[in-house]
């Protein structure tokens, strides 16, 4: 028995991921995962909730995200594996169906996020180059993403670093425009302190924060590098919190610049709000070049999310949790083409029926439910002692994080009924797939969360 266990352990060692990622690269990965479609596409929608004080919801969203980040920092240090939320919930509750629903919710949040990005891609940024209806541009974009996904492109950390620099450069351009405007006396800085919420200051900030939360999502994906970090117990918490702070400072500076130079109504109605800033800037920057940067940022968000979603479905099928057909791999491209078609079909329906704000809000709703369970899980798992030192969150942080995430998931934020219906339908698809598989295969005794979140990506 001991010999067999030792052999299995050696086999796991041989096939484990290489620990090659240092703290600086991990920090850039966290920043790169956060930066992207959110700020480029949703700044105007957030302004519609609060008026001129656009930066306030981003600040509040950062504080709330930091609460959940403490839970992830403790859990990834305690269990430095690449499975994320599904692993933590599975360890805490050991209920296979709950583990599956968490993994499926994460997968669906990727599709809704990609759909929101696709709508943003087909809007004002694309209009700088070609005039197309938003839905048409978004569907064409989804088609291109599907082709890339089918071709089997592999996203490496180095590519992520390059795209991070491109996305960050576009936002730094906006900040530079803001600094120049302050120096020469352009714009209206006082507008950044004005509140014009439709439903009162508290509900306005709450609704804006729920939407701004979308722009800070992505920090939780960095746990998938836990097995490849050189020293996850020490480096991950610093990179996670450091990345959140860097992204939050960039976002608030961009938000301040946008509301200082462009009136709230123009921001609210634009699908390319930061392009409006470039157009009125005293500091000259080619609008077409900025639109290209924005398209790359938005496109990268959609591509990464669709890659993740299709591989997650493939991983669940490989574990025989959903119908085995989703695990079929193309004989020449070696990509999960059935899973790809399934995820893009859902995205096509979402793009055709939803807008950027509604789709982003659906993404937030799904992940808020996941975050609530993660915050509870870290408390439940305190009963398991770790043999190695790791970051330990102050107990009040995950407690408050769970309460806040659960509260933000409620209709008090002003979230429309359509968002809840959309999220319910998406989760119902998962339940149906699970039931079908249960009837046909009759197997859900064991779930390996590592195969759910990584899924061969």
pLDDT digits (tens, 9 = 90+) for 244-294: 898 889 999 998 999 989 888 888 888 788 888 998 887 778 888 999 988
Q: Among 374, 423, 421, 320, which residue's Cα sits nearest to residue 107?
A: 423
Counted residue by residue, the chain has a size of 457
**What is d(CA 236, CA 209) in angstroms, rounded to the nearest whole number?**
26
Q: Is 303 exposed, middle or buried (0-12, 13-18, 19+ CB in 10 A)?
A: buried
Place of tokens 């899980």: 377
What residue spans of 15-131 are helical by DSSP H?
A: 23-34, 37-50, 55-78, 85-93, 96-120, 126-127
pLDDT for 206 beyond 50: yes
Contact between 170 and 12 under an 8 Å Cβ cutoff? The reply is no
Tell me, what's the pLDDT at 99?
85
CA angle 280/284/289 to nearest 5° reads 95
Report the alpha-carbon angle 193-66-374, nearest 5: 135
> What is the Cα–Cα distance from 190 to 210, expressed in whole angstroms?
25
> Would you give the distance in Å from CA 141 to the centre of its chain?
19
Task: Please tell me the predicted confidence (pLDDT) of residue 146.
Answer: 81
Token output for 121: 């891609």
Mean pLDDT of 375-386: 86
pLDDT in tens, 334-365: 677 888 888 899 999 999 888 888 898 999 99
234 phi and psi angles, rounded to 5 deg: -95, -40
Closest CA to 350 of 138, 170, 80: 138
* Dihedral angle, C-alpha 408, 412, 417, 421, nearest 10 °: 30
pTM, full prediction: 0.82
Residue 10 CA to chain centroid, in angstroms? 35
CA-nearest of 23, 389, 18, 385 to 231 is 23
Cβ neighbour number for residue 243 with a 10 Å cutoff: 24
Residue 143 is given by DSSP the state H
| Per-residue model confidence (pLDDT) at position 449 | 56
DSSP conformation class of 223: G
* Tens digit of each residue's pLDDT (9 = 90 or more) over 38-55: 788 888 888 878 877 888
Q: How many CA atoms lie within 13 A of 446 on its CB side?
A: 2
- Cα–Cα nearest to 453, from 90, 163, 155: 90
Domains of the chain: 35-384+415-453 (1.20.1740.10)
């Amino acid at each position: 028995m001991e010999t067999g266990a030792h052999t299995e352990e050696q086999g796991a060692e041989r096939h484990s991921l290489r620990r090659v990622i240092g703290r600086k690269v991990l920090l850039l990965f966290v920043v790169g995962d956060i930066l992207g479609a959110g700020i480029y596409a949703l700044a105007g929608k957030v302004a519609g909730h609060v008026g001129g004080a656009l930066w306030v919801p981003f600040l509040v969203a950062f504080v709330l995200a930091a609460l959940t980040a403490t839970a992830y920092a403790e859990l990834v240090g305690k269990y430095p594996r690449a499975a994320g939320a599904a692993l933590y919930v599975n360890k805490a509750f050991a209920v296979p169906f709950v583990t599956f629903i968490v993994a499926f919710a994460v997968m669906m949040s990727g599709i809704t996020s990609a759909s929101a990005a696709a709508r943003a891609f087909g809007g004002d940024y694309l209009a700088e180059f070609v005039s197309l209806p938003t839905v048409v541009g978004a569907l064409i974009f989804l088609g291109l993403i599907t082709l890339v996904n089918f071709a089997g492109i592999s996203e490496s950390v180095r590519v992520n670093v390059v795209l991070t620099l491109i996305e960050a450069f576009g936002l730094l351009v906006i900040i530079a425009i803001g600094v120049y405007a302050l120096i020469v006396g352009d714009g209206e800085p006082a507008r950044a302190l004005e509140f014009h919420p439709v439903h009162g200051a508290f509900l306005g900030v709450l609704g804006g924060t729920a939407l701004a939360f979308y722009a800070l999502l992505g920090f939780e994906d960095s746990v998938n590098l836990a097995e490849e970090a050189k020293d996850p117990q020490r480096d991950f918490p610093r990179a996670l919190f450091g990345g959140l702070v860097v992204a939050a400072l960039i976002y608030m500076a961009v938000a301040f610049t946008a509301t200082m130079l462009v009136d709230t109504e123009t921001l609210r109605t634009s699908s390319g709000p930061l392009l409006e800033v470039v157009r009125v800037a005293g500091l000259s920057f080619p609008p077409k070049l900025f639109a290209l940067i924005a398209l790359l940022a938005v496109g990268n968000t959609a591509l990464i999310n669709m890659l993740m979603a299709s591989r997650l479905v493939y991983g669940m099928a490989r574990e025989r949790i959903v119908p085995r057909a989703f695990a079929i791999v193309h004989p020449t491209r070696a990509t999960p083409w059935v899973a790809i078609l399934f995820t893009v079909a859902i995205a096509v329906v979402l793009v055709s029926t939803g807008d950027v704000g509604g789709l982003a809000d659906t993404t937030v709703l799904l992940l808020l439910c996941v975050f609530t369970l993660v915050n509870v899980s870290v408390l439940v798992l305190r009963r398991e002692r770790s043999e190695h030192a790791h970051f330990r969150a102050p107990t009040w942080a995950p407690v408050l994080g769970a309460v806040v995430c659960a509260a933000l998931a409620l209709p008090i934020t002003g979230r429309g009924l359509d968002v809840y219906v959309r999220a319910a339908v998406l989760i119902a698809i998962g339940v149906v797939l699970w039931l079908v598989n249960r009837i046909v295969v009759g197997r859900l005794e064991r779930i390996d969360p590592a195969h759910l979140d990584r899924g061969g990506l």
